[in-house]
Amino acid sequence: MSLLQVKNLVVEFPSRHGTLRALDDISFDIAPGEILGVVGESGAGKSLTGASIIGLLEPPGRVASGEILLHGQRIDNLPYEEMRKVRGRKIGAIFQDPLTSLNPLYSVGRQLIETITTHLPVNQAEARQRAIQLLKDTGIPAAEQRIDHYPHQFSGGMRQRVVIALALAAEPQLIVADEPTTALDVSIQAQIITLLKTICKDRGAAVMLITHDMGVIAETCDRVAVMYAGRVAEIGPVHEVINHPAHPYTAGLMACIPDMGEDRDRLHQIDGAMPRLNAIPKGCAYNPRCERVFDRCHVERPDLLPAGATQAACWLHAGAAQAVSAQEVTA
């Protein structure tokens, strides 16, 4: 059974000029012990998907339809106080900007200890030891002393490590990590990746890892979902998506990564930009930028279709989907 299930999620933002659909029919699941990477350009809807799962959509944003289930229990329609109990204990969150996650008036130790004692049956002394160990696990030197320091006494990268420790404090079943390693140097980045893998393996927790870094995705994740204009363009095993991309957008992203063994005068780029929410093209949203576009792409919007070992929302794979359907009917 999946630990997290997102079913046909639609997120909208009402405005004076009409309703803007930021997430459009998003569906995926994450199994216990699995790390799902979510990639795409800025504006694709990655962070918004994470915020919807955590229950932190900023007004006037709202879940217009669809369901979010954690261990089979629907959580997208929970009252605010009930969702607060889920957040922290069952779902941990690592945000891009550590300053928005830490209270500048409290020491990091107090914030960690309060989180631990709120959700776990431990006393203050035990909670303090747990907090110190979490700081050590995330690469904070001299954790016994630094635990009593305030956020402004830490560098940006060290604040990010404190935020990661805070997300892990109550031993959540699901961790939504939004660019957790962006502010960290390579050695600490590797340490955090190892820590996330260990948590998944030892606790059976699941991680939704939102990032722009395909290197982190390749090193960390079991599966990857590529998002474009509020939809999932491709999803599948990470090595299949990276080595054999089925969607032209995924292929474009992979081509943008420089090959250290190849001498190029110029790096590849995807022409154009992510469409605005009030100007999503008819048919496939990627069609104005796609090098393999044809007539159907301008008229009909494709759903995820079987594409070898992955699924891709692209009409190039319509024939393969029909073949699969025919086999199922025959069987």
Span 132-189, pLDDT tens digits: 999 998 889 999 999 999 999 998 888 888 998 999 899 899 999 998 877 677 877 8
In a domain, 141, yes or no: yes
Counting residues of the chain whose pLDDT is more than 70, the rounded percentage is 95
Q: Is residue 314 part of a domain?
A: no
Task: Write the pLDDT tens digit of every residue in 198-254.
Answer: 888 888 889 999 998 888 898 899 999 999 999 999 999 999 999 999 999 999 999
Q: Is residue 80 part of a domain?
A: no
Give this prediction's pTM.
0.89
Inside any domain, residue 274: no
Distance CA 330, CA 164 (A): 51
Position 186 in a domain = no
Tokens 């599966």 found at: 223
Token couple for 214: 């395909």
116 within some domain: yes
Instruction: Please write the tens of the pLDDT for every residue from 77-122.
Output: 999 889 988 988 899 998 877 777 899 999 999 999 999 999 999 9
Q: Is residue 37 part of a domain?
A: no
Query: Which residues does residue 93 pair with via DSSP β-bridges, in sequence order?
Result: 176
Number of compact structural domains in the chain: 1
Counting residues of the chain whose pLDDT is more than 90, the rounded percentage is 65
Full domain range(s) for residue 146: 100-171
Q: How far apart are CA 240 and CA 123, in angstroms?
A: 47
Tokens of 70: 């954690």
Distance separating alpha carbons of residues 150 and 147, to the nearest angstrom: 8
Say which residues have a Cβ less than 8 Å from residue 323's Cβ, sequence separation at least 6.
Answer: none
| 6 compared with 180, residue with greater pLDDT | 6
- The helix (H) or strand (E) run that includes residue 8 is strand 4-15
Please, which pLDDT band fits residue 322 given cuts at 50, 70 and 90? Answer: low
